[in-house]
Amino acid sequence: QVQLVESGGGLVQAGGSLRLSCVASGRTFSSYGMGWFRQAPGKEREFVAAISWSGARTDYANSVKGRFTISRDNAKNTVYLQMNSLKPEDTAVYYCAGNLRFSGLRTTDTEYDYWGQGTQVTVSS
């Protein structure tokens, strides 16, 4: 079993930055891929970023490419999402997720096995 706990959300003005953290407990953190997803009110959950178990490979949604950076520290069982140049359309609940079943980078939420409770990010214009 894997438990994921996100933190770091909040209210920020457009153009600002936030860093989200997700701490994992349970199974060996370095053995599985991680991802970040988000869900805005009235919209479906969407992929934001993914990182391989080693951190060597990453993937991003086009909407955040060049502004967001996913990283991980396996010694701290933590994955991060650095968000820069935030826009009002980035407002959403952000979730981290763990993928134990599939190799490679995964961009579909059904490919992830474990989820955190989410952290709210609100970007004001």
The answer to whether residue 119 scores a pLDDT higher than 80 is yes
pLDDT value at residue 116: 97
- Residue 94's nearest CA partner among 14, 6, 33 is 6
In this prediction, residue 68 carries a pLDDT of: 98
pLDDT at 67: 98
Give the pLDDT confidence score for residue 104 in this predicted structure: 84
Q: Long-range contacts of range 48-51, CB-CB < 8 Å, 24 or more positions apart?
A: 48/81, 48/94, 49/81, 50/99, 50/105, 50/106, 50/107, 51/79, 51/105
Per residue in 6-31, pLDDT (tens digit) is 999 999 999 999 999 999 998 788 88
pLDDT of residue 30: 80
The pLDDT, as a whole number, for residue 1 is: 82
Are 18 and 9 within 8 A, CB to CB?
A: yes
What pLDDT is attached to residue 29? 80
CB distance 34 to 97 below 8 Å: yes
Confidence of residue 50 (pLDDT cuts 50, 70, 90): very high
Structure tokens, 40 = 């805005």
Residue pLDDT, tens place only, 69-116: 999 999 999 999 999 999 999 999 999 999 988 888 999 999 999 999
pLDDT at 94: 98
As a residue count, the chain comes to 125
